[in-house]
Each structure stands twice: as C-alpha cells, then as structure tokens.
Amino acid sequence: MGRVTVDLNLLTALEALLEEASVTRAAQRLGLSQPALSASLARLRRYYGDELLRRVGNSYELTPLATTLKQRASAALDGVDRVFAAQPVFDPETANREFVLLGSDYGISIVGRALSRLLAERAPRLRLRLGQHTPQVVDHAAEVLRTIDGIILPHGFLLDLPSTDLYEDRWMVIAAAGNSRIGATVTMEDLAALPWALVYHGPTSYAPAARQLQMLGVEPRVQVVIESFYALPEVIAGTDRISLVQGRLAERLTARGDVRVLPCPFDAVPLVQAVWWHPMNELDPAHAWLRDLLVEACSTLPPA
C-alpha cells in the first residue's frame, strides 16, 4: 500500500480544529479567515468520510474518529518539526531547538538540576522541556520516542531500544516518624506485615525493588498507589504504611521530619537509571550531543 499524499497545511488545520473544537478559534489560532478554515474542514471531512466536528447546540463535539486523530495529529506535527529541525552539524552555542525528556518526578529532579546548569553554560538558546511519564508512556515507549528525545527510566522496563546509563542508586525503606510498629531497623517480617504505599504499581509499572521483594516470597500488601515519589510522605506520615524509595531521594523526603528512612533489610539490586531513545536518533548530531551532556551532568552527582 503506497503513501497517501496530503497537503501538510491540512494536517496543521486538522490539529487546530481538533484541539480547539471550534472553527472560529482554530482560524484565530492559525491566523486564517473563518471561510478558509471551513474549506479545509470540508476537505478533511471528504477525505475521512466523517464529520470530525459535530455541531451540538451552539458548540462542536469531536466524533469518535476525531478523538482518535487528535493525539495522532499532534504527534505527527511534532515529528514534522523534528524532521525540519535536523541539521548535518550541531553547534550548541548557536542552535535554537527544544529537547524533550520524560521521566518520573524522582528521575527528572535528579537529572534536571545538573543538566539544566550545563545547558545554561553551553547552549543558552536551547530549550529543555522536562515532563513526567506515565505507565502508558512506558508501555508504548517505542512509539512515544518518535516524538521526543528520551525517556529517563531504570533498566528492567524497556527492551530493544538504545540507551546509556546515567547513574546508580540504592533502595531504602521509608516510614512515618511515629510508626511504633517499627524499631530502629526494619525486618523482612515487617515488610510482610505492614501496609504499603507504592509508586506506579501495575503489571508493567513497578519499583524494581518491589518486584525483587515478590521474588523473595514477600507480597507487599499495597494500600495506596500514587504516581509521584515526592508525594509518598503525604500518604505515609501518620500511618503504619511503608514504602521503598531511592537513596538519592530519601534526604529530600525526610526534610519535614514526619517520615524517616531506614536501611533495606534485603540485598536489593541497585537501581541503574538510564536514558532511552528511538533508533532513528542514533546518528543525529544534536541528539548525540544531548546524550553526552546527560552523561556528563550525571557524572557530577555525589555518590548514592
């Protein structure tokens, strides 16, 4: 099946129409007249054989097809931007482009500070966008990585994608400062008996140390699932819950004094944080420069 030839302007119109769900607002966003954008909408409707925008009262709603196309259109335009941003050589001092990285709030906070400092020194015109990933992003990483520069994620989640290691971390146990069920240390029996709060707990999203604990025969009794490592103290303070956190994060979580950090009672495999990218970026000079800068930034981190 051959490629379908479509005017790129129609893709721009499609994204604006689906984002705004209004011909008037989409026309204003694109700097076009309303009749011109109405003509583009008519062409899109003929192409798809679908209304795309269906009038309901005084407004429009997206059809099921349009809802599916909304995210794809945005991703396609991001891909187009990346194609035209590519250059045969890369000069960070003069380049004007945006790098996009996704990770957990923990990963972004550890990497972001050192990376942003180096960027300010060496590439003042570059922009860095740091966002938080989701389990859905991880599950569809190969597709997502076509539209961004990288995902900061430990080993154990992705396969068949290029990566480079950034830093190593170890696991600690976090508990409420007033948790009377735990003494100066935590035992394996405590891990089995106490309720847990976990970050990203699911079939393909989990703390690697929690999965190792399961392999040792201890099934965490999960009471709360949250998608932020930094928010863990909020669901642990004042309760009997426990959790596993990265050592580099532990000091920051205990600053308020309502939670404490204890050694892990089992020999947890260290977390090895890496940045992952799509193979199409392997030889891109700008992307290679970013990867080298990430490794350099993380080499300045203190030991775990």
pLDDT at residue 4 tops 70:
no
CATH code of 98-162+276-299, in short, is 3.40.190.10
| Percent of the chain surpassing pLDDT 90 | 47
Which string of DSSP letters, residue by residue, matches 122-155?
H-TT-EEEEEE--HHHHHTHHHHTTTSSEEEEET
Handedness of CA 168, 174, 177, 183 (dihedral sign): negative
Half-sphere exposure of 214 (CA within 13 A, CB side): 11
- Give the C-alpha separation, 59 to 23, whole Å: 10
Q: Minimal CA–CA distance to 194: which of 258, 240, 259?
A: 240
Amino acid 2: pLDDT: 44
What dotted CATH number matches 8-85? 1.10.10.10
What does the block give as tokens for 281? Answer: 């970026």
Task: Among 2.60.120.860, 3.40.190.10, 3.40.1000.10, 3.30.450.40, name the CATH number for the domain at 171-269.
Answer: 3.40.190.10
For 24-90, the DSSP string reads HHHHHHHT--HHHHHHHHHHHHHHHTS-SEEEETTEEEE-HHHHHHHHHHHHHHHHHHHHHH--SS-
Q: 251 pLDDT band (50/70/90 cuts)?
A: confident
pLDDT tens per residue across span 40-93: 899 899 988 999 999 888 888 899 998 888 877 877 776 666 666 666 667 888
| Burial class of residue 29, CB neighbours in 10 A (0-12, 13-18, 19+) | middle
Torsion of CA 84, 88, 89, 91, to 10 degrees: -10
Asked whether the domain spanning 98-162+276-299 has the same topology as the one spanning 8-85, the reply is: no
Distance CA 207, CA 265 (A): 16
Angle at 214 between CA 210 and CA 215, to 5 degrees: 115
- DSSP-based helix, strand, coil % in the chain, nearest 5: 40, 20, 35
172-204 tens-digit pLDDT: 999 999 999 998 899 999 999 999 999 876 655
> Taking all residues of the chain, what is their mean pLDDT, rounded to a whole number?
88
The residue ranges of every structural domain in the chain are 8-85, 98-162+276-299, 171-269
Of the pLDDT bands very low, low, confident and very high (cuts 50, 70, 90), residue 1 is: very low
| pLDDT higher at 209 or 177 | 177
Place of tokens 């950090």: 261
d(C-alpha 163, C-alpha 143), whole Å: 16
Place of tokens 């303070």: 237
What average pLDDT does range 35-40 have in this prediction?
89
pTM over cut 0.75? no
Kindly tell me if the per-residue pLDDT of 162 is higher than 80.
Answer: yes
Per-residue b or e along 237-270, where b marks 16 or more CB atoms closer than 10 Å to that residue's CB: bebbbbbbbbbbbbeebbeeeebbbbebbeebeb
